[in-house]
Amino acid sequence: MKLETVLAAAVAGERLDDGALAFLLGLGEPAELEALFRAAYAVKLRYVGNRVRLRGLVEISNICRKNCYYCGIRSGNGKVSRFTMSREEILEAARLTARFGYGSIVLQAGERNDPAWIDFIEETVRQIKAIDGGRLGITLSLGEQTLETYRRWFAAGAHRYLLRIESSDPEFYARLHPADHRYDERVAALGFLREAGYQVGTGVMIGLPGQTVSHLVRDLRFFQKLDVDMIGMGPYLVHHDTPLGREFPETGSDANRQLEAGLKMIAVTRLLLRNVNIASTTALQALAPDGRELGLLAGANVIMPNVGDLAYRKGYLLYENKPGTDENADSARVSLERAITAIGERIAYDEWGDSPHFAARTGSR
Ligand code: 5AD
Ligand code: SF4
């Protein structure tokens, strides 16, 4: 296959077959990667422009009933001291997000589905919605829930939801999770989100032990089939207090390879899905100080700066060496703005920054 031909076809919006996707994901030469990123960037400019959408990220609790084999805050990790932010602390972070002009907020936590938690989230969303007359867009990332719960949170004012499929291959999914974490239930939850009216985001981890290019091609097809509005994905990073980290202590330790794999997946996703929002995630920044900017240059258009209280950050270590655990929201804002300007992009201040894909599929605006 000739790279120029494949990229020209991709930029023109021609159909990419599985062979072409695998070919692009398998590129390795610096000049080839540069060409791939340049093509993805051109498609990004055409469909979503060069204004970065920001979401203030608040990690509101590290309590989780799940036990995913790769995750540092899995319920089985007894070394984690557990926290839940108070409503007032969350509202304080929301007010800060509004004051910064970030336009929208993401509430993220481990998975809980007890009634007290569901009520707590519902009321918190309602109160965030009341800030400055509903100025902030609200995204939730709180795991698998029932259709009813998703509906209640939507009615309270949340309008976007992130639920990563982690891997779209059922067999591979089963290798990454205990038996009671069911792939089909996760897919069903993604359907509930759509049914409840959310803009839906999903994603996967990249560079997992045992993951192949065909897994990633399948993931891309999954995103496409689900017709998602947003993508949040990033490289897998080892945490040694997890079953996966203990079994494969070396996987994910080659930072450059993990970074490259993450950037390639962003670029190919942009070529394939065109008008969706794609996040340049913290995991990229964990691998290189300018990882998130590289993500933007490879086709991503969303950044989620942490606006939560510094006191809690070290309690939310999904993987080791997570960046930003000692930088407060204010200084992060200044450095982020500088970094974004330096690559020739601008920040879309005070906008919800909804996915153009959502508007297109629902015929709104
Ligand atoms: N490396 C990278 N990402 C991880 N996540 C969890 N553990 C890890 C890890 N070790 C991701 C999962 C989850 C999100 C909140 O964090 O994809 O959906
Ligand atoms: Fe819980 Fe999410 Fe970590 Fe799984 S990845 S253990 S659901 S916080």
Count CB neighbours of 314 within 10 A.
12
For ligand 2, the distance from its centroid to the CA atom of residue 41, given in whole angstroms, is: 32
Torsion sign across C-alpha atoms 267, 285, 186, 250: positive
* CATH code assigned at 41: 3.20.20.70
For ligand 2, the distance from its centroid to the CA atom of residue 112, given in whole angstroms, is: 10
Ligand 2 atom closest to Cα of residue 74: 6
Residue 364 confidence (pLDDT): 66
Q: Give the separation between CA 169 and CA 187, rounded to whole angstroms.
A: 11
For ligand 1, the distance from its centroid to the CA atom of residue 212, given in whole angstroms, is: 18
Residue 257 confidence (pLDDT): 94
The ligand placed nearest to the CA atom of residue 207 is: 1
Tens-place pLDDT, residues 154-177:
999 999 999 999 999 999 999 999
Tens-place pLDDT, residues 302-322:
999 999 988 898 889 998 888
Q: Give the separation between CA 97 and CA 136, rounded to whole angstroms.
A: 8
Does residue 64 have its Cβ closer than 6 Å to ligand 2? yes
CA angle 235, 218, 17 (to 5 degrees): 115
Q: Which two tokens stand for residue 286?
A: 């964990």
Asked if 244 contacts 265 with a C-beta cutoff of 8 angstroms, the reply is no
Supply φ then ψ for residue 238, to 5 degrees: -70, 145
**Residue in the block written with tokens 């794609």:** 278
Does residue 230 have its Cβ closer than 6 Å to ligand 2? no
For ligand 1, the distance from its centroid to the CA atom of residue 24, given in whole angstroms, is: 24
Ligand 2 atom closest to Cα of residue 65: 1
Residue span of the structural domain in which 336 resides: 3-362
- The structural domain count of the chain equals 1
The answer for residues whose C-beta is within 8 angstroms of residue 138's C-beta and 6 or more apart is: 104, 105, 107, 125, 128, 129, 157, 158, 159, 160
Residues of the chain with pLDDT under 50: none
Q: Give the separation between CA 27 and CA 292, rounded to whole angstroms.
A: 21
Torsion sign across C-alpha atoms 241, 305, 163, 311: positive
